[in-house]
């Protein structure tokens, strides 16, 4: 009987240690998953900030005489396309195709805004207005923030994805609902935010 009690005690101790170990692993994955989701919210906040700047920017630029209407239409349509992309706002996406669609739409808006600001170079009076300069500065800051938040998101997503594939998590992560997170695919030059600065102090050379 004494031997049986000893064996049962050892088994109970092993079971307790195993339970605590697995609980720690599970809680660690939960924390990593929540960190990715929280950073996803920051990415969306940065993109939303940029989207909120677009109407004021378009309205300001529209006031310039003979400003290229096609450029304004491109920006407006690109912003509308971003709003049409359906993506989970509460948790980081697990579908790479869904995130790629979101990224493409945002990329189109980035390109449209860059083109608008380049065209604005041809309108010295517009560039000199305080409202335009303020909006340009806000847009520049937002683009930098987007770049930073995307980078942080990718780091956390990769860290989480690696964690669920390591032993022992790989044996139970899938069963417990831990799915791999999608992350932004880097493109050439994506580590640098789009340049939206202009040298307002320079005077455009006179045309011959």
Token reading at 70: 């096609």
- CATH architecture type of domain 2-171: Up-down Bundle (1.20)
What confidence score (pLDDT) does residue 187 get? 54
Q: Is the dihedral of CA 155, 161, 165, 169 positive or negative?
A: positive
Q: 128 and 200 in contact (C-beta within 8 Å)? A: yes
In 10 A of CB 39, how many CB atoms? 20
How far is it, in rounded angstroms, from Cα 82 to Cα 41? 16
What confidence score (pLDDT) does residue 35 get? 97
Q: What is the pLDDT of residues 85-117, one digit of tens each?
A: 988 888 999 999 999 999 999 999 999 999 999
Question: Which residue is it, tokens 């594939």?
Answer: 165
């Amino acid at each position: 009987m004494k031997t049986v009690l000893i064996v049962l005690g050892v088994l109970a101790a092993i079971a307790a240690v195993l339970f605590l170990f697995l609980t720690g692993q599970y809680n660690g994955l939960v924390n990593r998953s929540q960190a990715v989701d929280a950073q996803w919210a920051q990415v969306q906040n940065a993109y939303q900030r940029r989207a909120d700047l677009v109407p004021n920017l378009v309205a300001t630029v529209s006031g310039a005489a003979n400003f290229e209407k096609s450029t304004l239409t491109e920006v407006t349509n690109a912003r509308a396309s971003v709003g049409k992309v359906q993506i989970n706002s509460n948790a980081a996406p697990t579908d790479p195709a869904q995130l790629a669609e979101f990224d493409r739409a945002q990329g189109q808006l980035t390109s449209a805004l860059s083109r608008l600001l380049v065209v604005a170079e041809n309108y010295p009076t517009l560039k000199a207005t305080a409202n335009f300069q303020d909006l340009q500065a806000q847009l520049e800051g937002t683009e930098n923030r987007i770049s930073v938040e995307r980078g942080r998101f990718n780091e956390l997503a990769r860290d989480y994805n690696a964690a669920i594939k390591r032993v022992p998590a790989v044996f139970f992560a899938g069963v417990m609902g831990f799915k791999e997170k999608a992350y932004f695919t880097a493109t050439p030059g994506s580590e640098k935010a789009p340049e939206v600065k202009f040298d307002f102090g320079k005077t455009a050379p006179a045309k011959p």
